[in-house]
Structure 1
Amino acid sequence: MCLMGNDLGRLATLVKERRLELGLGVEPAAKLTGMSKDTWKKVEAAQTVRATSYTNIERALQWAPGSCRRILAGGDPVATEALSSAPSKSLALIPRDELERQVGDAINRAALGVKSDLTAEQILELNERVLDELRKRGVL
């Protein structure tokens, strides 16, 4: 796994904090993932583990896939919440600033895909208008 920001210390801290927040000991948390408690301890000791271990940890900590990679790159994890209407599905709780960034990126790509002769200023104006409209509707 490419550790982009390589912020293993921050990942260790956030993993431990989330584990404790969920009321899990190291052994029960590791058991949820199917990994050894030694591998879990490596993560909390800021040591590198295989990419599949990070994926398993995300599931145990109720984080969206890719959250460990986001932390290593300097971002924050995205928590998920089980949906009572569909127990096999979960809802990601995306921070507002991240959602706005993602929506803005989607608008930019869509604008270029539909009308490639838009200027940068026109794309930015379109982006702001859509974001403002979504804010007015309470979506953002």
Structure 2
Amino acid sequence: MAPPSDQTARHLQKLAALVTQRRAQLRLSQEKAAKVCGGLAYMTYRKVEEGLPVRSSTYAKVEIGFGMRAGSCKAVIDGADSITLEDGTELIEGGRITPLDPETLEEGLRDAITKGATLTAPNLTLGEVQAINERVVEELRKRGILPSGL
């Protein structure tokens, strides 16, 4: 295989960081990751995390094993900044994907609505701000964004 260009090498390093990040999120050792990724040889999997070029079939196995959308690895090698997971979550280099706690979300949402309402409409009463909070939370529950009964 010919050595990659400087730009390709940078993109391979970004891909390596994203794959490593995803493996860490899944709490897998490199050995277990290789198995999850279609039974890749350990050394082949390590090449991906080291930013070395591998066959496109290897990237496809990593995508399937790690729940990435098909073509994500090639997109990063071609210059994309992120990988999209099957659930639509975007994996960004240096970013963290953490489970979303619905209670924390609701608390933060209510706090943000209260602060926003206070700053943009200072004439609203506390009761009016609380009513806005309730309507927003109710609407998000109807849409399935917040679970019912928190």
Normalised TM-score (structure 2): 0.51
Paired position in structure 2 for 1:65:
70
SS in 1 for 2:86: strand
Percent of aligned positions that are identical = 31
- Give the RMSD, CA atoms, in angstroms: 2.2
One-letter identity of the residue aligned with 2:22? R
Q: Which runs of 4+ in 1 moved over 3 A?
A: none
Taking the TM superposition and a 5 Å limit, the aligned residue runs for 1:26-105 are 26-32=30-36, 33-75=38-80, 76-81=82-87, 93=88
- Number of residue pairs the alignment of both structures matches: 83
> In structure 1, what is the Cα distance between the partners aligned to 2:84 and 2:42?
24
Unaligned runs of 5+ in 1: 82-92, 96-137
What is the CA-CA distance between 1:27 and the residue it aligns to? 0.8
- Structure 2 counterpart of 1:21, from 12, 25, 37: 25
SS in 2 for 1:47: coil
Q: Which has the higher strand share?
A: 1
> In structure 1, what is the Cα distance between the partners aligned to 2:89 and 2:46?
27
> In structure 2, what is the Cα distance between the partners aligned to 1:69 and 1:94?
18
SS in 2 for 1:77: strand
> In structure 2, what is the Cα distance between the partners aligned to 1:94 and 1:41?
24
Paired position in structure 1 for 2:115:
none
Paired position in structure 2 for 1:114:
none
Unaligned runs of 5+ in 2: 91-142, 144-150
